[in-house]
Amino acid sequence: MNPGQNASTTMPDGAELLRRARALLPQITAGGVQAERDRRLPDSVITAMKEAGLFRALQPKRWGGYEFDLATYYDIEMTIGEGDMSAAWVYGVVGVTPWVMALLDDRSARDVWADDSSTLVGLSLAPAAKVVPVEGGVRISGRWPFASGCLYCDWMLLGGFVPPEPPATPGAPEWRIYLVPKSDYEILDTWHTAALKGTGSNDIVITDAFVPAHRIRRMVENVTCTGAGQAVNTAALYRLPFGQVFGGGVAYAAIGALQGMLNDFLGYAQTRMRLGGRKTLTDPDAQLVVGDIDNAIDEMKTMLHRNARNLTAYAERGEVPPPADRLKYKFQMATVTERCRVLATRLFQVAGAAGLYSEHRFGRILADINAGRQHVTNQYEMHGREWGAHLLGIEMHEDLMR
């Protein structure tokens, strides 16, 4: 089968895909309740997102995708987040893997999409693999945690360290990614958590699976913005730094969640009465936090769109973004969940005691944002210290996730 042969002949633009995402919000919001109970998104929600073409945003056109710009992918993620942050988190992770697939040898894409271009691929980058070189590839074993969205995928991209190859520094292990089919791994039901329950981020276990050489990618190529797949996927989109693209997938869901919390509060405040007969609507503390949140969301979206444009401009010129820009953008990315956490906490407080009831989403959204803050990409302090050290003239090490 030729690339993209089984894809829809209708090619939407970015605005249409965003409209489709927004049209799904009632279903995504309602599904959030079931997702909390089941510790996974309802299959109907994933099916609806697939049928709307949302997972094709970053997929190569030659394999049935749309090759939209990076900002459109983030806009879809944030839109979904208004309905349910778990759904947005799954989209952020599973929606980025078609972009990763474009970087691998094109035979990998054929393995995954030759029969069905809507097939989903999951990802867990923890370098957990035990790797044994064999003729034609490697054999891997291991256990990978935090495999968000794995329940809906037929393939996984999994991380692992291998001994260095010349001219690498002796003794320094090299981080690689391995593409494996569902038939080679087991999903362990480990996702019993305080929040982001609907992501179903269970563990992946493999016992001695063969991975051919064409399904392996070196993480260092993610820094140099090179890859075998770029021989056929030539758009500037596929010459962006991996850490910048993937990082937004686990950072910007919080913006959507905060917007959803604000949307709910604006309706809630219309009739809510506090002790002493004071209306929440006229509470100056509520008015201030509502204004602060609206302003902060505008600032964060403006920042992420600017950074996406700047990264794309480098790629269009055939340049790799300098380390200083990537360092700064990673810090700015990490500030997102921290800002959302602080603002969501303030909004939860002005909602008063009635905001505790499960008929409202305030508590769940706050918990989800706090959970998202735990991801290494969203460690505000770590990335902030690195950016501050750079400004003070301290040379920073190269980071394969930057």
Helices (H), 250-379: 253-268, 284-316, 323-350, 362-372
Residue pLDDT, tens place only, 221-241 = 988 999 899 999 999 999 999
Residues 91 and 65 in one domain: yes
Instruction: Using pLDDT thresholds of 50, 70 and 90, give the confidence band for residue 395.
Output: confident
- Residue 171 has φ and ψ, to the nearest 5°, of 90, -15
Residues 315 and 357 in one domain: yes
Q: Is the pLDDT of residue 277 over 80?
A: no
- Number of independent structural domains in the chain: 3
CATH number of 273's domain: 1.20.140.10
Q: How far apart are CA 255 and CA 258, in angstroms?
A: 5
Residues 290 and 329 in one domain: yes
CATH number of 142's domain: 2.40.110.10
Q: Is the pLDDT of residue 370 over 50?
A: yes
Q: Which two tokens stand for residue 36?
A: 């909390």
Residue pLDDT, tens place only, 124-176 = 999 999 999 999 999 999 999 999 999 999 999 999 998 766 665 566 789 99
Are 96 and 73 in contact by the 8 Å Cβ rule? The answer is yes
Task: Give the least confident one: 51-60, 197-206, 264-273.
Answer: 264-273
Residues 255 and 365 in one domain: yes
Say how many C-beta atoms besides its own lie within 10 A of residue 256's C-beta.
29
- Count CA atoms within 13 Å of residue 88 on its CB side: 34
Residue pLDDT, tens place only, 344-366 = 999 999 999 888 999 999 999 99
Residues 214 and 286 in one domain: no
Q: End of a domain among 58, 74, 104?
A: 104
User: Pairing relation of β-strands 174-181 and 121-134?
Assistant: unpaired
Does residue 297 form part of some domain?
A: yes
349 burial type by CB count under 10 A (0-12 exposed, 13-18 middle, 19+ buried):
middle
pLDDT at position 171, please?
62
Coil vs helix vs strand at 141? strand
**Residues with Cβ < 8 Å from 121, sequence gap 6 or more?**
94, 97, 98, 100, 101, 112, 153, 154, 155, 156, 157, 179
Q: End of a domain among 104, 136, 161?
A: 104
Q: End of a domain among 37, 69, 104?
A: 104
Residues 255 and 144 in one domain: no
Residue pLDDT, tens place only, 293-328 = 999 999 999 999 999 999 999 999 999 999 999 999
The pLDDT of 250-275, averaged and rounded, is 93
Structural domain including 357 reads 242-391
Residues 100 and 28 in one domain: yes
Q: Is the pLDDT of residue 1 over 50?
A: no
Does residue 111 form part of some domain?
A: no
Q: How far is CA 318 from CA 105, 142, 159, 243, in A?
A: 20, 37, 28, 18
**Over the chain, what is the mean pLDDT?**
94
Residues 89 and 150 in one domain: no
Coil vs helix vs strand at 218? strand
